[in-house]
Every structure is written in C-alpha cells, then in structure tokens.
Amino acid sequence: MRNLSAEGALVEGDGLPVEGSSVVFRRQDLCVAAKVVWVREQRAGLSFDEPLTPEIVLRHIPTPRARVLPEFKRPGISGQMTEAERLSAAEWMWRSGQDPAVK
C-alpha cells in the first residue's frame, strides 16, 4: 500500500490485476471489497465499494517518523586572534554599523 483514503487506495506490486477487476483489499484487520480503476506499471488505484470511516483510515496509516531539524551554527573563534585578524574584525564591525567599543 502506498496511499489510503476513505474512497480507495494506491497499491504497488508485481502481478497486479487488470483494470476493472473486482478485488478484496486487505491490510492487517481491514478487509474491504474494491474495484481496480487503473493500472500503470507496478501501481494500481483501487476504489472501495463502501467508503471507510475516518477512524479506520487513520488506524491503518503509519505514524510519521519524527523530523530532525538541522542546526546551523557559525564556527566559533578558537585560540587567539592575531593583530591583523583583530584589525580586520574591527574594520568589519565599523562598516556594518557596529561599535566595537560597546560590549
């Protein structure tokens, strides 16, 4: 199963029935009569004879995995800055409108 809704499902596999075939869609404890409405390569669309209730649909949709958001941080300054680096930083701060004397 690739997709499930109250009205039908998108299934994937080898040896799928031909378009127009009557089938029984089964997933875990769900068993519902359906018709194959289209077939393309290894995917087929099923239309259920009776719509499923929202509770049944939600019970058979896997819980999404938690998304991990990347953290973007600037690298810190390690060690001591040379005199040239300090002057360059001070110049940059003045150009950007920052006052290097203010802490």
CATH number, domain with residue 42: 2.40.10
Structure tokens at 30: 């769900």
Question: Does residue 29 sit within a domain?
Answer: yes
Question: Does residue 80 sit within a domain?
Answer: no
Residue of higher predicted confidence among 56 and 94: 56
Is 70 exceeded by the pLDDT of residue 101?
Answer: no
Question: Does residue 17 sit within a domain?
Answer: yes
Query: Domain range holding 13?
Result: 3-59
Number of domains in the chain: 1
pLDDT in tens, 2-19: 888 999 999 999 999 999
- For β-strands 22-27 and 8-12, DSSP reports them as unpaired
pLDDT in tens, 30-59: 899 999 999 999 999 999 999 998 888 888
Question: Does residue 90 sit within a domain?
Answer: no
Q: 37, 25 in Cβ contact below 8 A?
A: no
* DSSP track, 55-85: HHHHHTSPPPPPPPPPP--PPPP-SPPPHHH
Q: What pLDDT, on a 0 to 100 scale, did the predictor assign at position 97?
A: 63
Q: How many Cβ atoms sit within 10 Å of the Cβ of residue 10?
A: 14
Question: Does residue 9 sit within a domain?
Answer: yes
Choose among 57, 37, 56: nearest CA to 46: 37
Query: What is the value of pTM for the model shown?
Result: 0.58
Question: Does residue 72 sit within a domain?
Answer: no
